Amino acid sequence: MPLESGNHQLCGQCQKTSPTFNSAFIPFRYEHPVDQWIWKFKFRNDLVSGKLLADLFLQKIFDSNIVMPEILVPVPLHSSRVRQRGFNQSLWLARHIGKQLGIPVDSRSVRRRLKTPPQHELNIKKRTTILRKAFTLNREFEHQHAAIVDDVLTSGSTMNEISKLLCNNGCATIDCWAIARTALK
């Protein structure tokens, strides 16, 4: 279930094109039982599974020596997806994690302005293309070290686009935090 300590592999995509974020902290693989907990949390509003995932993530954070960011930025969902799902799982995770770490959550600066298809239905090329211009800043971003929070990292396209946005608006250090990642390709 957890990745090996010190596992710093790059997927083929990241080897070809370096991501715009500085680091990623993703302690679990998207495989059983983590994938089932994420699915129940995300699509069945199972907050017990969400709390379990956040608590497991926090255990790994406490065991690490990473430098904590000054702000957590959850990956925003389009308003229609929030209505459909009933909540934003990334915002829920960010709030739970932020509360335990004493790090504030900024859920207002980054907004998803384009409604895009679910990312798990797209290949990496489509993900990258469709997410360009999908996000916008609602206001000036004044933080120097931020962590973008999501449930799963697959291609990194979402994190990359939000990271570009924050970087272009003065954020010096951008980390990506996710509960799990899909297999490296």
Domain ranges of the chain: 15-114+122-181
The secondary structure of residue 121, as a DSSP letter, is G
| pLDDT for the residue 1 | 41
Distance CA 91, CA 102 (A): 15
Distance CA 181, CA 26 (A): 7
CATH architecture of 15-114+122-181: 3-Layer(aba) Sandwich (3.40)
Distance CA 22, CA 175 (A): 6
| pLDDT for the residue 2 | 44
User: Taking every pair of C-alpha atoms in the chain, what is the biggest distance, in angstroms?
Assistant: 40
| pLDDT for the residue 146 | 99
Task: Let me know: does 71 contact 146? Beta carbons within 8 Å.
Answer: yes
Tokens of 90: 């990334």
Task: Let me know: does 184 contact 9? Beta carbons within 8 Å.
Answer: yes
| pLDDT for the residue 9 | 54
pLDDT by 10-residue block (mean), the chain, 185 residues = 46 61 96 98 97 99 97 96 94 99 98 79 70 87 97 91 95 98 76
Distance CA 118, CA 44 (A): 16
| pLDDT for the residue 16 | 57
